[in-house]
Structure 1
Amino acid sequence: MPDVTRISPNTLIAADRVEGTDVYNRKGEKLGTVDDIMIDKVSGKAIYAVMSFGGFLGIGEKYHPLPWSTLNYDETKGGYVVDLDKKVLEDAPTYDMDEDFRWTPDYGRRVDQYYNVPTYW
């Protein structure tokens, strides 16, 4: 059980407020925005942020699942910061916005392995 005396009310946020939040790299370049959050049904923990990236005016954009552990919220930016550059994202696992995508454990492991984080699966 978390120590409630150490939890700030500002650390909780509704999922619909996270959607649309900008994602930046360490250089301050905007990489994309959070379009969705993948949540574990049992624990309720956020496992992945699905970020849109690439394209121009919405054309050619792809979804990039990012392990939640790779994101750090930066209050000064009002967004999340990841230690990635655009080139890393260009080669990352993605899926098309208009694709009828089905998440599988194999896909999740591939995402986790790409970002070199412990796998959820």
Structure 2
Amino acid sequence: MPTATGHTDAIRASRVIGTEVYNPAGDHIGEIKDVMLEKTKNGIMFAVVGFGGFLGMGEKYHAIPWASLDYDEKKGGYIVPYSKDELKAAPSYSVDELTENDGMKARDASYDYYKVDPYWQ
């Protein structure tokens, strides 16, 4: 069912993974590498966005709250409301760190840093 802006309420994770991510200035900042799901609460914990690196080497992974991503059809990607400096200063993780403690550490740090209202409260 479409939302007021014409977007649908549901999307397959396979359509999200690999989608480019941009900041409000239109600068490409990375791509969605994965989506973390909280099984017990039926929520999307965060999008795993990869920044930098070359052929997977030196890439940083950021947990960005799902509510912060807004799809822009013209760009064919998601826009996040954060500047390059905010994103550079954000917590970053290895793939293993993203899943430590069921992803709760990365989730909590992400929502705190980006000042997004927690979906679980």
- 1:63 match: secondary structure: strand
8 A Cα contact 1:37 1:49, kept in partner = yes
- 1:59 match: secondary structure: coil
TM-score for the superposition, normalised by structure 2: 0.80
TM-score for the superposition, normalised by structure 1: 0.80
Return the letter of the residue paired with 2:25: K
Alpha-carbon displacement from aligned partner over 1:8-51 (angstroms, at most 9, x marks no partner): 39623211111000000111111100000112214533231100
Return the letter of the residue paired with 1:106: K
Instruction: Give the C-alpha shift of residue 111 in structure 1.
Output: 1.1
Return the letter of the residue paired with 1:61: E
Aligned-residue CA RMSD (Å): 2.3
Structure 2 unaligned segments of length 5 or more: list them.
none
Q: Say if 1:38 and 1:56 are closer, same or farther in 2 by CA, change over 3 A.
A: same
Structure 1 residues 51-70: aligned runs within 5 Å: 51-70=49-68
8 A Cα contact 1:108 1:120, kept in partner = no
- Structure-1 residue corresponding to 2:22: 24
Specify the structure having the higher radius of gyration (Cα). 1
- 1:87 match: secondary structure: helix
Return the letter of the residue paired with 2:42: G
Give, in whole Å, the separation in 2 of the partners of 1:96 and 1:74: 28
Q: Which moved more, 1:60-69 or 1:84-93?
A: 84-93
The count of corresponding residues between Structure 1 and Structure 2 is 115
Q: Say if 1:40 and 1:98 are closer, same or farther in 2 by CA, change over 3 A.
A: closer
Please state which structure has a larger fraction of its residues in helix: 2
8 A Cα contact 2:65 2:111, kept in partner = yes
